[in-house]
Amino acid sequence: MNNTQRYLPVIEACTASAVACETCANACLKTAAGSDRDICIALYHDCIDLCRLAVRLMQRQSALVDEICRLCAITCQAVAQQCNKYADLHCQECAQVCQRCVEQCEEITAGA
C-alpha cells in the first residue's frame, strides 16, 4: 500500500474534523458570544488550521506527516474534551468526529 492509500482514512478524518469544528465554532458564536465558549472557539480555529495543514502535508507525502499528525491528535483531543463539557448536539457531534481524528492520526504516528 502506498502512502496516499495509507493516508486516505486520516485525510478523511482530518477533513471531517475541520468541518465539524467550523460548524461548532459558528454555532457557539451565535449562542454564546462572550461566554466561556470563547476558549472553545479559539481552540476550534487551531484545530481547523492544523487539520487542514495535515491534509495538505499528507497529500504531498511530506516528511513532516508524523509531526503534524501528532499535533493534530493533541489538538483534536483537546477539542473533544472541551466539547464533551457541553450538551449541545453540535458539541457532541464535534467531540465524536474529533475523537475519530485522534484515533486515525495516532495510527499514522504509531508506525513512526
**pLDDT single digits (tens) 48-66:** 999 999 999 999 999 999 9
The CATH code of the domain that includes 35 is: 1.20.1270.360
Domain count, the chain: 1
Q: Average pLDDT of 102-106?
A: 97
Q: Average pLDDT of 25-33?
A: 77
Residues 63, 93: Cα–Cα separation, whole Å: 32
96: burial class by Cβ within 10 Å (0-12, 13-18, 19+)?
A: middle
Residues 82, 78: Cα–Cα separation, whole Å: 6
Residue 34's pLDDT is 54
The per-residue pLDDT of the chain, averaged, comes to 91
Q: Given its phi and psi angles, is residue 105 left (phi above 0), alpha (psi -120 to 50 degrees) or beta?
A: alpha
pTM (two decimals): 0.91
Q: Which residues have a Cβ under 8 Å from the Cβ of 29 and sit 6 or more positions away?
A: 41
Residue 57's pLDDT is 96
106 lies in which domain range? 3-110
